[in-house]
A and B are shown apart, each in its own frame.
Chain A
Amino acid sequence: MPLFDRILIANRGEIAVRLLRACRELGISPVAVYSEVDREALHVRLADEAILLGPAAPAESYLNMEKVIAAALQSGAAAVHPGYGFLSENAGFARRAAAAGLVFIGPPPGAIDAMGDKAAARVLMQSSGVPVVPGVQDVADDKALAKAAKDIGFPVLVKAAAGGGGKGMRVVNASADLLESAAAARREALNAFGDDRLILEKYVARGRHVEIQVLADQHGNTVHLFERECSVQRRHQKIIEETPSPLLDDDLRSAMGDAAVAAAQAVGYTNAGTVEFIVDPDTRAFYFLEMNTRLQVEHPITEAITGLDLAQWQIRIAAGERLPFQQADLTPHGHAIECRLYAEDPATGFLPSTGTLLAFDLPSGPGVRVDSGVTEGSEISVHYDPLMAKLIVHAGDRPAALRRMQTALSETVVLGVTTNREFLLDVLQHPVFAAGEATTRFIEEHLPNWRPATSVPPAALIAAALAELRAPASSNGATPAADADPYSPWARPTGFRMGGG
């Protein structure tokens, strides 16, 4: 079956670059879209054609369905890949793309809808034999809510039925706080989603976040590509992922894999998707949380251990190809870890940081992969997600992968923008993480109030002074002020050597 001639990539940053590369390797011409602040972005430079959507605000650019579809039609693309975030889990967009004659590279809109409503998904999963967190999805009034919470037992989690992204979500530790928290969650849910229905669930306080990658073609074949553990999170967002999970054994892996396949089949899923579970490490019971009906940020670690290119398979499945393997043919190899390099300051509660990348050195070597959407000189703005790059390592076993990631992070240099690089290094070196025992509360329990090393070593001061001597810093420019001193070594393209170095 022929693949598409052209695909429009409706995204930006590292995922747009990653999808561009998948297109190239399949002989497909990639088309990029961009907002006014992304004119110079890497994904724009690498595409065959790039179409301006509009101003920086997502609603006027990457989230604007009409503009994205018009760009696809204008470019002559046959299909649209939404990446993650933005329009990726928007069933309305999938339908409009189809109505415009474009193939949406993702699941059918009905599957997105079915998984998007958390309350309906709970019911559907239960009836499909997929374990869900003990709880209730229809709480008519405060009285019913109080009774349900008592039956489930505290702590409980109240969350928006229509929700996602931590909005409208509250942990309630005691019955005295229940009604107030529920009212606040309803308000947030109504603001964010226009829907104030709540779900009440048992809160698994020290759970492990383990998700299963699934892949389904349009011919009825659904397989899982094993798990990813993503327990290390801040503000309900992942920062480190690994596979295999240090918690799982073959029995649990196979039970969770079967449950994920059942979940996907229950909604008629096709393409790549991820079923998220919370696992209680004490009882080893696992519960369905939600299904992400798109490619995940952390998909590269699954690619590393399976040798499959998920982005390419998304395209091939969308074009109607059949999976040439079955579950029994799949075996994971080695251990893979991903660290997300964010423009954020872990010392101030992970607040986003901005600036110009004055230096950006990325690691390389055997088993090291970097998916990056920025380069030296790139501007990190306030408009979008602060993910700059993902470092992915693959090695024979977990200890070797950990060492490889430490080396990769140590080689990484980012100047000009504050990042979480050193925080990531400290997580990797923490004995609880090293032992494979980190839960979703790891950061708040083990690295609260984290601060970077405060003492400045002589070498740092001397390096700064030497740079100063060599490049009189009279300018405001971000680059060394070579023009200020014609004899400055910074000015010479061939560099500078003295003292026989």
Chain B
Amino acid sequence: MATAAETLSGAMAPRPFRVVRRQRETGDTWTLELEPVNGEPLDFVPGQFTMLYAFGVGEVPISICGERGGPLVHTVRAVGAVSEAICASRPGAVLGVRGPFGRGWPVEEALGLDVVVVAGGIGLPPLRPALYECLRRRSEYGDVVLLYGSRTPADLVYRREVEAWRSRFDLEVDVTVDRGEGDWRGKVGVVPKLIGSARFDPGAAVAMVCGPEIMMRFAAEALLARGVPEDRIYLSMERNMQCGLGHCGHCQLGPTLICRDGPIYRFDEIEPLMKVREL
């Protein structure tokens, strides 16, 4: 019989984590806070993901969205059977966690430079730990800018927190939506459009971009047009990730395995691959 230690070494066996808090972000998106049923909390670097398991239903890759040292936080959009089951997990429920996996955001490389965070839709959660890191060590970075876009005002996640960030003097926040519904008085337009007027020094900035692949392509173009070097632009890629270990072959993107070499890539590494259709 496998002992507990062997169980963990298996890398395929999820660790039980209990949901301690659950909060609705939008119509189909929920944020869960999790704590391990036994043992140490999960350490991670911003940008990493876990494989999150709903008992008997299945497992999906979800970015870690919380602060280091705090509970494990995941913001999940219900788009399939597994993510629906995860979103439906109330406080007290137990989910399985494997990981963390992957290469994170360049928060160390960005020290001393301006940081431009560009998020589209559900792309903000994977970037939030990087923002937390910039704010935690605020004096070690130059200007920090968050540019965030979503489909409608109702699709914005972390709305209260974004409003709180906006009122800070040491963080520039700009938000836009594709469709201005309701009493929205903010910007209407795509998020890459915000890059042109954001305050940062393109020659001394690192950009971190996460969102739909097409949005990231346009954002990278806008960043390049501003003069950000292509090796200072980082994107988060998505493919079918099943094992997280580099063994199952599903998350291949040309010469790379996203779970192992990504999900965060430098634009100059990934750009030739993004241009190839159906790669």
Decide whether A and B assemble into one complex: no
